[in-house]
Structure 1
């Protein structure tokens, strides 16, 4: 059999872990019996590229995994592939199919079957008998429509002994050419968050730490610089998390580990370890979702908002790791006013990144099953975003999306973060008013730091005069254009001028100087001529 795996990802840097994870469970004889081909690319690659690759290989069967981000692209490719090759069999799996699959199979006749759940246990049997049509009819997890038009649903497959699976890296289909690799050290989650597809009753299974060490050694030998730990809550088991953190330390500074923690569950021992680990070893995603207790309770999320805020405060105080925090708009009982307030709380706590996303009603999640009970209206097609709830209107969700873009453009941008935060802290109502303005006047060209700076500068001039100087200083310190916006207020100082330059160095012939007079102060900036960096290397404030 000629088996093709269609691997379409959000970007070039990503690759599907499902392919090698499943393939690694096959015996050598089964692997050698069939001819395998992986066709990889991003959602931005032209559909004709994938069709050309599929046509050239001429597969008997196409397998693919569907997620939120690739759903539409995969379907677009496969329905055309089926039109070109009517005899090709197409079988799909992935998180998009954790719910009821009857409608999908009814509407997408090119799909022979859907697999739901964890596939490692059943994959060897499936591939061994794949030449026979409907050989999977009794295999757990498969859904299909039989010859009589009856929908058959074999439930959801769960791996029995996760720790005993062959690691994905042992498969020749594992892609070592990406900038990072993904590793599951555990599967399942103790938390029962209703908005998450891992919020089911599955028990948590852990891989022994000693076997993980050999895998990380192998990853290091392949010169991989970044490992993304896929555990849903890394610190759910504090003792295990402590052992893993100490193991990660072995690979410093060669590998950085990305992991997701619950900030309310950082106990004394974990805090002490995090304080001692070297800077840059970790990139930490601290799941917040909301600081409102009734919102967390309605979603079955463990942990208090007070402990969560304390955990985030501790992480950001270390000043040694990249800290990413997230909020989810449209959760039950979550209002727009509370989203604004929670965003301000995070801005003051000062993580490196704040992500605000609109709730996605994911197939198979408890919240999706109970959406009608909560009266949550959402898109029936990917990405299944909430459109309105009893607690937040459609217009307020539109404002939330504008706020998300503002955070990405200014707070999550290293050039503007400090400036933006200062403006927010000094003007408690700025965020609300600026978000309203941004939503009503979405910039068409906001793709670089100058256009972003000009947008907020023009808004501040008309509405928040006390914020103007913050923007001017940020503009000048980062060496943005002197020919537009705040740069027009600056003047170049040249040797021999009557105006005294307090930062002039007579021995330094490789620097240029500019200054801005604003209010009762003169701000000086020194730049290096022969440098790839445009940033000022020395600033000085002169009182007039």
Structure 2
């Protein structure tokens, strides 16, 4: 009997943790199991053909809001061309199994909740051709589709990447969890349905972290809902990583108001970009925070995020959610401005998704909540925001992502946001009007286009300063030696002979070019450029300034390629 475990990811670099858990914990003796991973950007006919070629008796699909439509297409076709049993599992189908059986006749079983033990039971029954009567395993004939919360002993679960060829993860992200459950009950989140927090034994966690480090995994993302729910435990894990990791980066979701000075100091002591932290601010509206059952301290979050950003060595990702109850457009602007002024490395503007089984879904009538019937079940309107409000925020989200989150326009934004607008939101609203007027939202824009249009937008306010700052950002964040864009043609390139004369000097080389100490002057010239600006782009002082650019990445998280004012 052969089983194929299918993971459909949202991008090539992503991987599916669930199918690795099943591979190591849920396959009875005598069943041959294989993992197959794809992504939603792949042609469906290619994926179908590859799965068909497996000639499996059972196909198990891991289902989430980002892949369910793709899976339905594949699974329906697979059922028509094989006699295989089709099994769905995952958060998307655990709380609305009946809807799926009512709509689709090609699904044989749905496994709800934590799947390791019940999938093992289900496959054992199918292997022996026995009647399936397992709690939280549903089929077309089930009389009750209610998911009954069950918890397995997390310490008994076998490490998901055991017996797996780690070459499969080259240039990919690995997902890992050191705890299950969440102590909080945010009304929009499925984690509020599992409040029992279960920690994996720290000895095992350390052994598993070492496994990632020894295998040179580039990025490990902990999917713990609140990594620092136990600060003492979190500190021990951080210290272990600091003592052992060389190249592997670790990502945690943290509750920022729970962080104490000791854990912040640990993060501050880390090498550049060893840690990424995701912080859920969501809103600063107190009525909103209370209504969605969050327990946060906005002031404390702000203080701790500011401390974490001090050394610019830890990547900070700050989240807001649009469409929450009691948050109208004016309230959201305040939340946006507060978040933006903290200067995180990434500001994520999310939109409320009304997930099956959550308290938010149960309160949809109370909030007059309208949302899309299809995944990802995103909000369309509520009592406080109409569709036009949310549509405007979609445009703002696009601009924040392209201009702020890319980090490629840091110096330009740092200066102009406060100079031409009352608030950060006001700046992006003005930029959005410019984009709409010029129909830029309807176009596919390259990085060069983004620089060009930001210059056009800022030109009426201060042409010379805009040109200098945008040119500086372009040369700092794009791996380029010679300026070749019209908006930087006025930035004077120092001629070759002059550059050779400068870089030949031992004092200059010792101060600015230590990385190139073994190279000849000719070889160094190929890796640098020196330009003359009419304004100091860092201090904004209006004076002639020479800047050395090198094609070497800066040590700090926020910076691009190295530069020196000489």
TM-score by length of 1: 0.88
Looking at structure 2, the residues matched to 10 and 310 of structure 1 have their Cα atoms a distance apart, in angstroms, of 34
Paired residue for 1:487? 488
Picking from 71, 76, 82, the partner of 1:74 is 71
> Quick one: distance in 2 between partners of 1:233 and 1:345?
22
Q: Report the counterpart of residue 47 of structure 1 in structure 2.
A: 44
Q: Distance in 1 between matches of 2:39 and 2:310?
A: 37
Matched residue of 1:397: which SS? helix
Equivalent-residue separation in structure 2 for 1:197 and 1:38 (angstroms): 26
- In structure 2, what is the equivalent of residue 165 of structure 1? 157
Deviation at 1:461, TM superposition (A): 2.2
Match of 2:223 in 1: 230
Matches within 5 A, 1:80-99: 80-85=77-82, 87-99=83-95
Inter-partner Cα distance in structure 1 for 2:18 and 2:289: 31
5 Å matches for 1:320-359? 320-359=313-352
Question: Which residue of the partner structure matches residue 12 of structure 1?
Answer: 12
CA distance in structure 1 between the aligned counterparts of 2:384 and 2:462, rounded to whole angstroms: 30
Shift of 1:517: 5.0
What RMSD in Å do the two structures reach over aligned CA positions?
Answer: 3.0
Quote the residue 1:459 is aligned against. 457
Q: Of 401, 412, 434, which residue of structure 1 is paired with 2:405?
A: 412
Could you tell me which residue of structure 2 aligns to residue 101 of structure 1?
A: 97
Following superposition, the deviation at residue 151 of structure 1 comes to 4.8
Gaps of 5+ in 1: none
Q: Is the 8 A contact 1:513 1:524 kept in 2?
A: no
Distance 1:34 1:439 in 2: 58
2:400 touches 2:428 (CA, 8 Å); kept in 1?
no
Q: CA deviation at 1:268?
A: 3.2
What's 2:113 paired with?
Answer: 117
User: Structure 1's 523 and 375: CA in aligned 2 closer, same or farther, altered over 3 A?
Assistant: farther
Q: Which residue of 2 aligns with 1:381?
A: 374
Match of 1:65 among 38, 62, 65: 62
Partner residue, 2:251: 258
Residues 486 and 54 (structure 1 numbering): CA distance in 2 closer, same or farther, change over 3 Å?
same
Q: CA deviation at 1:234?
A: 0.9
Do the aligned partners of 2:548 and 2:565 also contact (CA within 8 Å) in 1?
no
Structure showing the higher helix proportion among its residues:
2
- Is the partner of 1:264 in helix, strand or coil? helix
1-side partners of 2:230 and 2:433: how far apart?
42
Partner secondary structure for residue 129 of structure 1: helix
Q: Is the counterpart of residue 143 in structure 1 residue 138 in structure 2?
A: yes
Query: How many angstroms apart in 1 are the aligned matches of 2:153 and 2:529?
Result: 66
**In structure 1, what is the Cα distance between the partners aligned to 2:117 and 2:166?**
18
Greater shift, 156-165 or 319-328, is seen at: 156-165
Structure 1 residue matching 2:126: 3-state secondary structure: coil
Q: Secondary structure at the match of 1:372?
A: coil
Instruction: Please give the alpha-carbon distance, in whole angstroms, between the structure 1 residues aligned to 2:26 and 2:494.
Output: 72
Tell me if structure 1 keeps the 8 A contact 2:491–2:532.
yes
Checking the alignment, whether the CA contact within 8 Å between 1:284 and 1:321 is kept in structure 2 is yes
Q: Distance in 2 between matches of 1:262 and 1:145?
A: 41
Query: 2:270 matched to 1:283?
Result: no
What is the CA–CA distance in structure 1 between the aligned matches of 2:99 and 2:391, rounded to whole Å? 29
Cα deviation for residue 525 of structure 1 reads: 4.6
Q: How many pairs were matched up?
A: 527
1:126 is matched with: 122
- Pairs within 5 Å for 1:495-514: 505=502, 507=504, 510=525, 514=531
State the Cα deviation string for residues 54-75 of structure 1 (Å, max 9, x = none). Answer: 2212222111011121111111
Residues of 2 paired with 1:18 and 1:165: CA distance?
Answer: 12
CA contact (8 A) 2:183 2:196 kept: yes
Contact 2:532 2:545 in 1 (8 A): yes
SS at match of 1:374: coil
Q: Which of 140, 145, 148 is residue 156 of structure 1 equivalent to?
A: 148
Q: Report how far residue 343 of structure 1 moved.
A: 2.5
Gaps in structure 2 of 5+ consecutive residues: 506-520, 554-559
Preserved contact between residue 329 and residue 397 of structure 1 (Cα < 8 Å): yes
Is the deviation greater in 279-288 or in 508-517? Answer: 508-517
State the TM-score, normalizing by the size of structure 2: 0.85
Q: Using the alignment, how far apart are the partners of 1:95 and 1:311 within structure 2?
A: 32
Please tell me whether the aligned partners of residues 523 and 539 of structure 1 are also in contact (alpha carbons under 8 angstroms).
Answer: no
Q: Do the aligned partners of residues 434 and 82 (structure 1) sit closer, same or farther apart at CA in structure 2, a change above 3 Å counting?
A: same
Q: C-alpha distance in 1, partners of 2:266/2:33?
A: 45
